[in-house]
């Protein structure tokens, strides 16, 4: 299917008509409202209400808001009806309504993309066994994976108000630092500032208290997926994490892409969950679903790029740090939702779940500097000659994601970008 919006056919576009991701944007001098990406344009959905009826019309009205939450809360049927209606009206075969829709299209590079969702809760998982092994090896060479890893999807409760949209400033945090050789901790700007390549999963339809989500029903609660950078201060983390896990090392900033790719748009790129090793334990019954094992993975190539301030000044292109893939996750998205609610707690519309750092088995698929530099032991040389163990002030870190599959038009996630500002004085 093609669109009458010409840029939606560009081979490199992230937003062909097969994607139609949601975002929230503010046109020059206007209020924030919900939109849908198509090529290099964003459609002001709420401005086209008279073109829709039935469940789609309800969804359109929910888009007249400065966050996606009202739309997300309507559940999968409403979002699906809206998607179908938009897909039909933006298709090349549809000649009516073009003036009406065209008047509601804005050039993406002329609007401000703002935080798309009011995030109520933020949980960060640890679902990549490659990342867990690589990070664990730095601390425990003999036993990189802790004994619980293959049984329980490990996570921590993050801080929802750390989440900000791509382009928003990220400032180097202060914290308690104590190296292995230091007699006592000091309070100073973090020196081992890192990023983490992750997926973010937005909850749409809420679940019910004391009614755990079954693995097989979990995608009904997934509104969509985004890119997420879990900025991490490794030196703060190393000193504070025992025995309760990450706290201030990760609560200062979390960056997400402005775009939310819907569960439906991802459907052609669903795949089997990465196979467990022969001798791995089977998941407990509440975490196991045969259909999910066959179709619960998502093939999303994830890239991280770094450009230092000096590289930018010299006009050098960003350096690709890694390319990994979300199809390598040990725990599926559905298993994360099922586990999250297995104790009787529930998920609300607008909750955000991070996948944890997505790393692969190969050296060019490591989703954090902690892994790339082996814990700050092996320097990375940038184009232009600078070296990095961890991020320097002025470094710009960009995540991108793209789904490709034979017989399907490729879709993408836009950019998740942040530049590290110096610590406050």
Residues lying near Mn ion in the complex (CB under 5 A) are found at 124, 196, 230
Q: Least distance in Å: CB of 311 to Mn ion?
A: 26
Identify whether the C-beta of residue 38 lies closer than 8 Å to the C-beta of residue 20.
yes
Nearest CB to Mn ion, comparing residues 230 and 235 = 230
Residue whose beta carbon is closest to Mn ion? 230
CA angle 54, 223, 164 (to 5 degrees): 125
**Calpha distance 77→70 (Å, rounded):** 14
SS3 264: helix
Interatomic CA distance for residues 175 and 121, integer angstroms: 24
Nearer to Mn ion, 196 or 292 (CB): 196
Q: Which residues contact 99 (CB under 8 A, 6 or more apart)?
A: none
Query: 125 or 239, CB closer to Mn ion?
Result: 125
Residue burial 142-159, b: 16+ Cβ < 10 Å; e: rest: eebeeeebbebbbbbebb
Least distance to Mn ion from the beta carbon of 353, Å?
Answer: 11
CB nearer Mn ion, residue 32 or residue 201: 201
Q: Give the DSSP per-residue string, 126-141.
A: ---HHHHHHHHHHH-T
d(CA 425, CA 353): 33
Q: How far is 116 from 233, CA to CA, in rounded Å? A: 26
Say if CB 224 and CB 202 are below 8 A apart: yes
- Choose between 230 and 240: whose C-beta lies nearer to Mn ion: 230
| Cα dihedral sign, 374-124-78-26 | negative
Catalytic positions? 131
Structure tokens at 334: 């559905």
Question: What are the φ and ψ backbone dihedral angles of 67, each rounded to 5 degrees?
Answer: -145, 160
- Least Å distance between CB 29 and Mn ion? 38
Query: Shortest gap between Cβ of 172 and Mn ion (angstroms)?
Result: 18
For residues 127 and 149, the answer to whether their CB atoms sit within 8 Å is: no
Measured from the CB atom, the residue of 44 and 196 that comes closer to Mn ion is: 196
Distance CA 231, CA 391 (A): 10
Closest contact distance (angstroms) between CB of 101 and Mn ion is: 39
Give the tokens for residue 70.
């009202």
Q: Please name the helix (run of DSSP H) or strand (run of DSSP E) that holds residue 309, with its range, or none.
A: helix 309-313
Smallest separation, CB 198 to Mn ion (Å): 6
C-alpha–C-alpha distance, residues 86 and 84, integer Å: 6
Residue with Cβ nearer Mn ion (185 or 376): 376
- Write down the least CB distance from residue 318 to Mn ion, Å: 22
């Amino acid at each position: 299917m093609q669109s009458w919006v010409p840029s939606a056919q560009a081979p490199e576009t992230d937003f062909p008509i097969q994607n139609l991701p949601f975002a929230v944007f503010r046109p020059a001098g206007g209020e924030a409202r919900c939109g849908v990406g198509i090529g290099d344009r964003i459609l002001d959905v709420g401005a086209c209400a008279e073109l829709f009826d039935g469940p789609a019309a309800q969804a359109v009205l929910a888009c007249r808001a400065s966050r996606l939450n009202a739309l997300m809360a309507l559940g999968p049927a409403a979002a699906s009806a809206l998607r179908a209606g938009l897909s039909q009206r933006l298709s090349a075969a549809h000649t009516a309504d073009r003036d009406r829709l065209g008047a509601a299209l804005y050039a993406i590079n002329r609007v401000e993309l703002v935080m798309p969702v009011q995030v109520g809760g933020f949980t960060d998982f640890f679902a990549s066994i490659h990342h867990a092994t690589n990070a664990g090896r730095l601390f425990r060479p003999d036993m990189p994976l802790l004994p619980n890893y293959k049984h329980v999807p490990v996570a921590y409760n993050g801080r929802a108000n750390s989440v900000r949209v791509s382009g928003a400033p990220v400032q180097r945090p202060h914290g308690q630092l104590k190296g292995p050789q230091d007699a006592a901790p000091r309070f100073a700007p973090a020196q081992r500032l890192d990023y983490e390549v992750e997926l973010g999963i937005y909850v749409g339809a809420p679940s019910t208290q004391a009614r755990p989500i079954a693995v097989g029903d979990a995608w009904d609660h997934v509104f969509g997926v985004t890119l997420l950078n879990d900025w991490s201060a490794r030196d703060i983390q190393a000193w504070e994490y025992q025995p309760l896990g990450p706290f201030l090392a990760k609560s200062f900033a979390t960056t997400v892409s402005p775009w939310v790719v819907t569960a439906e748009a991802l459907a052609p790129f669903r795949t089997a969950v990465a196979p467990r090793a022969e001798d791995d334990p089977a998941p407990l019954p509440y975490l196991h679903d045969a259909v999910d094992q066959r179709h619960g993975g998502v093939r999303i190539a994830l890239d991280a790029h770094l450009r230092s301030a000096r590289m930018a000044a010299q006009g050098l292109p960003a350096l690709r740090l890694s390319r990994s893939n979300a199809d390598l996750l040990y725990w599926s998205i559905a298993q994360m939702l099922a586990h999250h609610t297995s104790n009787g707690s529930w998920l609300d519309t607008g909750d955000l779940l991070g996948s944890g750092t997505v790393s692969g088995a190969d050296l060019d698929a490591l989703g954090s500097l902690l892994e790339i530099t082996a814990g700050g032991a092996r320097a990375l040389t940038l184009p232009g000659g600078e070296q990095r163990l961890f991020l320097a002030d002025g470094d710009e870190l960009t995540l991108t994601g793209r789904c490709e599959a034979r017989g399907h038009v490729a879709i993408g996630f836009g950019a998740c970008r942040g530049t590290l500002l110096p610590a406050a004085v």
